[in-house]
Protein backbone atom coordinates (compact mmCIF):
# COMPACT_ATOMS: atom_id res chain seq x y z
CA UNK A 1 0.00 0.00 0.00
CA UNK A 2 1.08 3.56 -0.69
CA UNK A 3 1.42 6.47 1.72
CA UNK A 4 -0.48 7.45 3.85
CA UNK A 5 -1.90 3.95 4.28
CA UNK A 6 1.65 2.65 4.77
CA UNK A 7 4.74 4.48 6.06
CA UNK A 8 8.11 3.01 5.12
CA UNK A 9 10.31 3.63 8.18
CA UNK A 10 13.28 5.10 6.24
CA UNK A 11 11.18 7.57 4.22
CA UNK A 12 10.83 11.31 4.83
CA UNK A 13 7.41 12.99 5.05
CA UNK A 14 7.10 16.58 3.79
CA UNK A 15 4.28 19.04 3.23
CA UNK A 16 3.38 19.38 -0.48
CA UNK A 17 0.67 21.89 -1.39
CA UNK A 18 -1.02 21.57 2.03
CA UNK A 19 -0.87 17.77 1.87
CA UNK A 20 1.62 15.32 3.35
CA UNK A 21 3.67 13.28 0.92
CA UNK A 22 6.99 11.48 0.50
CA UNK A 23 10.16 13.44 -0.22
CA UNK A 24 11.19 12.57 -3.77
CA UNK A 25 14.68 12.10 -5.16
CA UNK A 26 15.92 14.27 -8.01
CA UNK A 27 18.91 14.52 -10.32
CA UNK A 28 18.50 18.30 -10.50
CA UNK A 29 18.77 18.99 -6.78
CA UNK A 30 21.59 17.52 -4.67
CA UNK A 31 20.58 15.42 -1.69
CA UNK A 32 22.46 17.58 0.84
CA UNK A 33 20.19 20.51 -0.03
CA UNK A 34 17.24 18.44 1.19
CA UNK A 35 18.99 17.06 4.25
CA UNK A 36 17.27 19.46 6.74
CA UNK A 37 13.89 17.93 5.88
CA UNK A 38 15.29 14.48 6.66
CA UNK A 39 16.60 15.57 10.06
CA UNK A 40 13.23 16.79 11.33
CA UNK A 41 12.20 14.45 14.13
CA UNK A 42 8.76 15.97 14.48
CA UNK A 43 7.23 19.29 13.48
CA UNK A 44 3.82 20.14 14.87
CA UNK A 45 3.38 23.19 12.62
CA UNK A 46 3.72 21.04 9.51
CA UNK A 47 1.05 18.58 10.63
CA UNK A 48 3.28 15.53 10.79
CA UNK A 49 6.16 16.41 8.45
CA UNK A 50 9.24 14.58 9.71
CA UNK A 51 12.34 12.66 8.75
CA UNK A 52 12.82 8.88 8.80
CA UNK A 53 11.49 7.13 11.90
CA UNK A 54 14.87 5.42 12.28
CA UNK A 55 16.45 8.78 13.23
CA UNK A 56 14.18 9.16 16.27
CA UNK A 57 16.43 6.80 18.20
CA UNK A 58 18.79 8.36 20.73
CA UNK A 59 22.29 7.85 19.31
CA UNK A 60 25.16 8.16 21.79
CA UNK A 61 27.97 8.73 19.29
CA UNK A 62 29.21 12.21 18.38
CA UNK A 63 28.80 11.52 14.66
CA UNK A 64 26.16 9.62 12.73
CA UNK A 65 26.74 8.02 9.34
CA UNK A 66 23.70 8.42 7.09
CA UNK A 67 23.18 6.78 3.71
CA UNK A 68 20.44 8.29 1.52
CA UNK A 69 19.22 6.83 -1.73
CA UNK A 70 16.24 6.96 -4.07
CA UNK A 71 15.00 5.23 -7.20
CA UNK A 72 13.78 7.70 -9.81
CA UNK A 73 10.85 6.24 -11.69
CA UNK A 74 8.40 7.13 -14.43
CA UNK A 75 5.18 5.10 -14.49
CA UNK A 76 6.76 2.31 -12.44
CA UNK A 77 9.80 2.20 -14.73
CA UNK A 78 13.15 2.82 -13.01
CA UNK A 79 15.07 5.48 -14.95
CA UNK A 80 17.81 6.54 -12.56
CA UNK A 81 19.24 6.20 -9.09
CA UNK A 82 20.71 8.77 -6.70
CA UNK A 83 22.62 8.18 -3.48
CA UNK A 84 24.87 9.97 -1.00
CA UNK A 85 26.54 9.28 2.31
CA UNK A 86 27.03 11.93 4.99
CA UNK A 87 28.68 12.16 8.38
CA UNK A 88 26.31 14.17 10.56
CA UNK A 89 27.52 15.81 13.79
CA UNK A 90 25.37 15.39 16.89
CA UNK A 91 24.59 19.13 16.82
CA UNK A 92 22.74 18.73 13.52
CA UNK A 93 20.46 16.14 15.10
CA UNK A 94 19.07 18.87 17.37
CA UNK A 95 16.71 21.63 16.27
CA UNK A 96 19.20 24.52 16.39
CA UNK A 97 21.82 22.62 14.39
CA UNK A 98 19.29 21.54 11.79
CA UNK A 99 18.04 25.12 11.43
CA UNK A 100 21.63 26.36 11.07
CA UNK A 101 22.22 23.86 8.26
CA UNK A 102 18.94 24.83 6.63
CA UNK A 103 19.94 28.50 6.81
CA UNK A 104 23.25 27.65 5.14
CA UNK A 105 21.46 25.95 2.25
CA UNK A 106 19.13 28.94 1.95
CA UNK A 107 22.15 31.27 1.91
CA UNK A 108 23.64 29.38 -1.03
CA UNK A 109 20.29 29.47 -2.85
CA UNK A 110 19.97 33.22 -2.29
CA UNK A 111 23.48 34.01 -3.55
CA UNK A 112 22.73 32.00 -6.69
CA UNK A 113 19.28 33.40 -7.49
CA UNK A 114 19.56 36.95 -6.18
CA UNK A 115 23.22 37.71 -6.85
CA UNK A 116 24.89 35.45 -9.42
CA UNK A 117 22.04 35.10 -11.91
CA UNK A 118 21.18 38.79 -11.62
CA UNK A 119 24.81 39.74 -12.29
CA UNK A 120 24.93 37.45 -15.35
CA UNK A 121 21.73 39.03 -16.61
CA UNK A 122 23.17 42.51 -16.15
CA UNK A 123 26.30 41.54 -18.09
CA UNK A 124 24.34 40.38 -21.14
CA UNK A 125 21.88 43.27 -20.91
CA UNK A 126 24.87 45.60 -21.09
CA UNK A 127 25.88 43.93 -24.33
CA UNK A 128 22.29 44.06 -25.62
CA UNK A 129 22.46 40.30 -25.99
CA UNK A 130 19.49 37.96 -25.63
CA UNK A 131 19.31 34.60 -23.90
CA UNK A 132 21.84 35.08 -21.09
CA UNK A 133 23.27 31.64 -20.17
CA UNK A 134 21.85 31.72 -16.65
CA UNK A 135 21.25 27.98 -16.57
CA UNK A 136 24.91 27.36 -17.48
CA UNK A 137 25.98 29.69 -14.67
CA UNK A 138 23.64 27.93 -12.24
CA UNK A 139 24.98 24.47 -13.06
CA UNK A 140 28.59 25.61 -12.83
CA UNK A 141 27.88 27.29 -9.50
CA UNK A 142 26.28 24.25 -7.84
CA UNK A 143 28.95 21.92 -9.22
CA UNK A 144 31.59 24.07 -7.52
CA UNK A 145 29.58 24.43 -4.30
CA UNK A 146 29.37 20.63 -4.03
CA UNK A 147 33.13 20.50 -3.47
CA UNK A 148 32.89 22.55 -0.27
CA UNK A 149 29.77 21.13 1.40
CA UNK A 150 31.92 19.96 4.32
CA UNK A 151 32.29 23.66 5.24
CA UNK A 152 28.51 23.89 5.69
CA UNK A 153 28.53 20.84 7.95
CA UNK A 154 31.26 22.47 10.04
CA UNK A 155 29.40 25.80 10.23
CA UNK A 156 26.15 24.11 11.25
CA UNK A 157 27.84 21.93 13.88
CA UNK A 158 29.32 25.11 15.40
CA UNK A 159 25.88 26.80 15.25
CA UNK A 160 27.19 29.75 13.24
CA UNK A 161 24.71 32.64 13.31
CA UNK A 162 22.99 32.89 9.88
CA UNK A 163 23.60 36.66 9.96
CA UNK A 164 27.34 35.91 10.00
CA UNK A 165 27.42 33.33 7.20
CA UNK A 166 29.12 35.79 4.83
CA UNK A 167 32.09 35.94 7.23
CA UNK A 168 32.29 32.17 7.75
CA UNK A 169 34.33 29.74 5.66
CA UNK A 170 31.07 28.54 4.11
CA UNK A 171 30.11 32.08 3.13
CA UNK A 172 33.54 32.79 1.64
CA UNK A 173 33.37 29.56 -0.34
CA UNK A 174 29.89 30.41 -1.66
CA UNK A 175 31.05 33.81 -2.91
CA UNK A 176 34.14 32.23 -4.51
CA UNK A 177 31.91 29.73 -6.36
CA UNK A 178 29.59 32.53 -7.52
CA UNK A 179 32.56 34.55 -8.79
CA UNK A 180 33.95 31.52 -10.62
CA UNK A 181 30.59 30.81 -12.27
CA UNK A 182 30.31 34.47 -13.29
CA UNK A 183 33.76 34.44 -14.87
CA UNK A 184 33.02 31.19 -16.73
CA UNK A 185 29.86 32.58 -18.33
CA UNK A 186 30.84 36.24 -18.78
CA UNK A 187 33.99 36.54 -20.94
CA UNK A 188 36.07 39.73 -20.96
CA UNK A 189 38.11 39.42 -24.16
CA UNK A 190 37.02 42.66 -25.83
CA UNK A 191 36.68 46.23 -24.49
CA UNK A 192 32.86 45.97 -24.60
CA UNK A 193 32.93 42.65 -22.77
CA UNK A 194 35.33 44.04 -20.18
CA UNK A 195 33.01 46.98 -19.55
CA UNK A 196 30.00 44.65 -19.23
CA UNK A 197 32.00 42.33 -16.96
CA UNK A 198 32.85 45.20 -14.60
CA UNK A 199 29.24 46.36 -14.61
CA UNK A 200 27.82 42.93 -13.72
CA UNK A 201 30.52 42.31 -11.13
CA UNK A 202 29.22 45.26 -9.10
CA UNK A 203 25.92 43.45 -8.53
CA UNK A 204 27.65 40.17 -7.67
CA UNK A 205 29.80 41.92 -5.06
CA UNK A 206 26.95 43.94 -3.56
CA UNK A 207 25.72 41.20 -1.22
CA UNK A 208 29.24 40.47 0.05
CA UNK A 209 30.09 44.14 0.69
CA UNK A 210 26.70 45.26 1.97
CA UNK A 211 27.63 44.82 5.63
CA UNK A 212 30.96 46.65 5.26
CA UNK A 213 29.21 49.52 3.48
CA UNK A 214 26.79 49.93 6.37
CA UNK A 215 29.65 50.00 8.88
CA UNK A 216 31.47 52.72 6.95
CA UNK A 217 28.27 54.76 6.71
CA UNK A 218 27.78 54.66 10.47
CA UNK A 219 31.38 55.77 11.07
Of the pLDDT bands very low, low, confident and very high (cuts 50, 70, 90), residue 42 is low
Nearest to 105 by CA among 37, 22, 51: 37
pLDDT tens string 62-77? 888 889 888 888 888 8
User: What is residue 6's predicted lDDT score, i.e. its pLDDT?
Assistant: 80
DSSP run (H or E) holding 22: strand 19-22
Contact 20, 48 (CB under 8 A): yes
User: What is residue 23's predicted lDDT score, i.e. its pLDDT?
Assistant: 84
Of the pLDDT bands very low, low, confident and very high (cuts 50, 70, 90), residue 20 is confident
User: What is residue 184's predicted lDDT score, i.e. its pLDDT?
Assistant: 94
Nearest to 117 by CA among 192, 207, 188: 207
Tell me the mean pLDDT in the region 192-197. 94
The overall pTM is greater than 0.85 = no
Helix (H, G, I), strand (E, B) or coil at 15: strand
Contact 153, 90 (CB under 8 A): no
Amino acid sequence: PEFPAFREFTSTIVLKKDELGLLSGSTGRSIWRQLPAMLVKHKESSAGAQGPLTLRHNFNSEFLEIWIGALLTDKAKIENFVESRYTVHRALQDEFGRLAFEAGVSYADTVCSSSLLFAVGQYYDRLSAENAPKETARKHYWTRVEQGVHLLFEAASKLVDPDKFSESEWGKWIFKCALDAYEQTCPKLTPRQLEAYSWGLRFLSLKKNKKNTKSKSKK
